[in-house]
Structure 1
């Protein structure tokens, strides 16, 4: 049997209508939520960033993780690798709760 703590899990980004548009993976729901939040419209600073609610359904379950996320741009670190852009998108999330779907 596989050790669940080492396995990546898939989380589908779910729209208001229930359509699942993108899939993000991570060991924990927060890791997938941070990846999803980086896709939000990035502000010039964390203070200016707009917060958006989004929902991630854990694939294979009826569990819906609800997050509030925000993203912003900032300068890349000085010791960045050559391939990295001058500005990068940072993100943060706050878990709002979990819901269970009646059906898939």
Structure 2
């Protein structure tokens, strides 16, 4: 379901189908990136483990499936004063879409 501001809500599902966290974004990828940034970060992108993220679009039976990973990196040189020296970056790769039969 699309909100007035164009964003959609996605619930992060665990292995049991429980939905504890909700992320919003204009696209499923945007919500998946938000979820991936909350993974335990590795020391570099090459060392990061890929974790399967299953995001159900609220109001539909679609589950968007991504591989997500996160890593620590140095903040850019032109960072604002409030930003820490190391930041968490993330990336996702779409695996597909499933439809729930519940």
TM-score w.r.t. length of structure 2: 0.94
Mapping of residues 1-104 of structure 1, within 5 Å: 7-103=6-102
**Residues 62-95 of structure 1: CA distance to partner in whole angstroms, max 9, x if unpaired?**
0000000100000000110111111100000000
For structure 2, list consecutive stretches of 5 or more residues without a partner in the other structure: none
- What's the secondary structure of 1:30's corresponding residue? helix
- What's the secondary structure of 1:18's corresponding residue? coil
Q: Distance in 2 between matches of 1:9 and 1:86?
A: 32
Shift of residue 54, structure 1, vs aligned partner: 1.3
TM-score w.r.t. length of structure 1: 0.92
Q: Distance in 2 between matches of 1:88 and 1:17?
A: 31
Q: Distance in 2 between matches of 1:39 and 1:50?
A: 13
| Residues 1:23 and 1:100: Cα distance change in structure 2 (over 3 Å) | same
Q: Distance in 2 between matches of 1:35 and 1:100?
A: 22
